Amino acid sequence: MITSKLTSKAQTTIPQPIRAALRLREGDEIAYSIEGDAVVIRKATVPLPAEDPFGTFSEWDSEADRRAYADL
């Protein structure tokens, strides 16, 4: 079992094996659902390009771009 601690501000770090399994990276959204007495964590789905006018600009979605524009 993988665990993490909750801080006084109700925050936690998602353990690396979970981030790797969900292929999470900085800026990704996480979806939670309550199923009985358990909580399921999933990577949130990305909106379709029709819903996101910038969704088709994948050529500007690289790690180098995120670093270059991180402070904007």
In this prediction, residue 52 carries a pLDDT of 66
Task: Report yes or no on 54 lying in a domain.
Answer: yes
Task: Report yes or no on 2 lying in a domain.
Answer: no
- Do the bridges between strand 38-43 and strand 30-35 make them parallel or antiparallel, or are there none, so unpaired? antiparallel
In this prediction, residue 20 carries a pLDDT of 94
In this prediction, residue 49 carries a pLDDT of 58
Domain that holds residue 62: 16-68
Task: Report yes or no on 1 lying in a domain.
Answer: no
Task: Report yes or no on 5 lying in a domain.
Answer: no
CB atoms within 10 A of CB 55: 13
Question: Rounded distance, CA 57 to CA 48, Å?
Answer: 12
Task: Report yes or no on 62 lying in a domain.
Answer: yes
Question: Rounded distance, CA 44 to CA 28, Å?
Answer: 8
- Per-position pLDDT tens, the chain of length 72: 999 999 999 999 999 999 999 999 998 999 999 999 999 999 998 766 566 666 666 776 778 887 888 777
Nearby residues of 7 by Cβ (< 8 Å), 6 or more positions away:
none
Q: Torsions phi, psi of 19, nearest 5?
A: -60, -40
